[in-house]
Structure 1
Amino acid sequence: MTTEQTPLHSGFGPHTTAQEALAGRDLRGKIAIVTGGHGGIGLETTRILSNAGATVIVGARDVKKAQDNLSAIRNVEVIHLDLADPRSIDQFAVEFMKSNRALDILINNAGVANPPTIKDARGFDTQFATNHLGHFQLTVRLWDALIKSGNSRVITLSSIAHMVGPIDFGDLNFTKRPYNKDIAYGESKTACSLFAVELDKRGKEHGIRAFAVNPGAILTGLTRHLTDEELAAWGVRRGDNGNFIAPEGFKTIEQGAATSVWCAVSPSLEGKGGVYCEDCDIAAIAPADSTLLSGVRPWAIDQSAAETLWNASEDLLQMAHGAIPVLAK
């Protein structure tokens, strides 16, 4: 049964914090992985899950930095993970799988925006490779641990930037089009949403449900490659002390982590999946030409595009088709 892309009227909203979204749930005995869980909304996500009793494994490129940032948080393990390096992803998965633990929550939180290098060593667009392909590979490598849980959830961070447009499957790595970093980022975030659609279709018979999350507009390290002029276009300005000041409508870190936590633990999502969520609820579908900074555009939840993306991802990563079969139509 396909979950409708229709708000549940959860009672939460854009000002809900991650602590409030947790709603006092006890996560003792649960195992979670949070990529990039040592900074920004990832750090807040890790803190909330850990304080609720979960053991949280954080994937981080800089292990020392992650350990320092997480030093005050209990129940946390750090494993090196570079989502732009296929070998690093495999090594992370092997190390986790050796523990023989079930994986209850996988939060694909890490990402890049407007990086200085637009192509990785394979010639792939860096934003598409990191934001989507890296998490695709990681999730597939952790598949047996997700099945072992019997009731696992995979949350992948998308963005309102998906409104930029659908994915150009004929030119995923900008070999034909002039490179545009905003389009590249938007397509990578459309991919994150489509990944949740297809992953849910393939995983639900195994007790794996998937969700895409728009965390909202937040000032985090993800903006570090943007110029002051580019940030000003979003109403962000630099204060007298040099720190950036966000305009009304931006969320705090605590609010930005809320929808990830809600998707990971909310009982209202039992038996549901394959949907795009925002403000601690399933998002409404917005018209393709909408200029609103909310809602999901039709191309980001299109089932045909989701299957096409899955097959293209297997091809790019040289994975055999059908390694994770479609068990539910």
Structure 2
Amino acid sequence: MTKQKPLQTGFGPETTAQEVLAGQDLSGKVAIVTGGHGGIGLETTRALAGAGATVIVGARDVNKAQEVLASLKNVEVIRLDLADLSSIDEFAAIYRSSNRALDLLILNAGVCFPPTIKDERGFDTHFETNYLGHFQLTVGLWEALKRSEDARVVSLSSIGHMTGPIDFDDLHFTQRPYDKVVSYGESKTACSLFAIELDKRGREHGVRAFAVHPGAIMSGLARHLSDEDLAGWGVKRNEDGTYVTSEGFRTAEQGAATSVWCAVSPMLNGMGGVYCEDGDIKEVVSADSQLHRGVRSWAIDSVSAEKLWTISEDLLHIPHGTIPRSQD
């Protein structure tokens, strides 16, 4: 079990994905990056492909993604809508049919304060898109991950997890008033817990998992935020759609650094099941801390992680043990 304790890597908030990758050759590696055509996802794709990896990008709009990625070598695009069960299954089936191992799975795509708060199943949109769709995708790609024998899965969490633990009795806000901040935060807690439990299930097969907070970055993720929401974060939206940010925000290149570090760094060989930030494993902070860094205990709690996994299998009608849980 890897301790939730910094390694003192020397990286920090200003480190870029390219700096993390310096000197590494990823030729022969295959990566999947969901949402890998915009924001930090695009920079993740650019960095991995630039180091020689073959990168498959999952995108709802294939034509748009292909246009954005046209200048990059070793990049493929497959349609993927994380709010659509059949789209997720189709993506996984297409990849499995290639008979390729999967070395890196970067679960990057997500939504923030979307206009539609529930889907036709009554599922909370944040929970469904940010977490549950990625859970289903990972299960569908499990055999390809095992085939690598040295795979890493990176689950994009957020400092938003600090809003509190998951309310397991009301995942979809049917009993409590809907709160978009709490909804988003719980979905990102789920993303972190997913990495904790997946690592436990995958490590005997050479599959390690990491949760990542990329830092504060203004990207397409902010498109549904109101001017009032943005102002609360010290951000102003210009008439042309660009943003003016306050101190503490990062570039997309910096935001992608920790995802890439978790995916490829030899510093993490033999490790997994931890929450990372600023190119390092991050320390645990107190539950009432107002610091916008560090991980709260509920986002790395092993009991909650196992509970969430079982609930997710039930919600998606996936047989229990499809990805079996190893014993300590």
Quickly name the TM-score band, shorter chain normalised. Answer: over 0.9
Task: Map 1:85-124 to 2 at 5 A.
Answer: 85-124=84-123
Aligned amino acid, residue 160 of structure 2: A
1:146 partner letter: L
Report percent identity of matched pairs: 69
**Structure 1 residues 89-238: aligned runs within 5 Å:** 89-238=88-237
1:254 aligns with 2:253: yes
Q: TM-score, normalised by structure 2?
A: 0.99
Change (3 A) 1:314 1:75: same
Question: CA–CA distance in 1 between the matches of 2:123 and 2:326?
Answer: 30
Answer whether contact 1:205 1:328 (CA < 8 A) is retained: no
Aligned to 2:243: 244
**Are positions 1:20 and 2:19 aligned together?**
yes
Q: Following TM superposition, where does structure 1 have runs of at least 4 consecutive aligned residues deviating by more than 6 angstroms?
A: none
**What is the CA distance between 1:24 and its match in structure 2?**
1.9
Could you give the per-residue CA deviations for residues 199-246 of structure 1, whole angstroms, max 9, x where no partner exists?
000000000000000000000010111111110111112357663111
Q: Assess if the C-alpha contact under 8 Å between 1:32 and 1:107 holds in 2.
A: yes
Q: How far, CA to CA, are the matches of 1:192 and 1:238 in structure 2?
A: 28
- What is residue 310 of structure 2 aligned with on the other side? 311
Amino acid of the residue matched to residue 101 of structure 1?
R
CA distance, structure 2, for counterparts of residue 68 and residue 207 of structure 1: 35
Between the aligned partners of 1:238 and 1:121, the Cα distance in structure 2 is: 32
Structure 2 residue identity aligned to 1:72? S
Shift of 1:23: 2.1
Asked whether 1:50 is paired with 2:49, we answer: yes
Q: CA RMSD in A?
A: 0.9
Give the partner amino acid of 2:46.
R
Distance 2:223 2:327 in 1: 41
**In structure 2, how many angstroms separate the alpha carbons of the residues matched to 1:241 and 1:195?**
37
In the alignment, structure 1 residue 278 sits paired with structure 2 residue 244: no
Which stretches in structure 2 are left out of the alignment for 5+ residues? none
Q: Does 1:293 align with 2:313?
A: no
Residue 322 of structure 1: CA displacement?
1.1
Give the superposition deviation at 1:325: 1.0
The TM-score with structure 1 as length reference comes to: 0.98
The answer (yes or no) to whether the contact 1:114–1:181 under 8 Å persists in 2 is: yes
Q: Which amino acid aligns with 2:78?
A: I
Kindly indicate whether the alpha-carbon contact (under 8 Å) linking 1:150 and 1:207 is maintained by their aligned counterparts in 2.
Answer: yes
- d(CA) in 2 for partners of 1:234, 1:297: 21
Q: What are structure 1's unaligned runs of at least 5 residues?
A: none
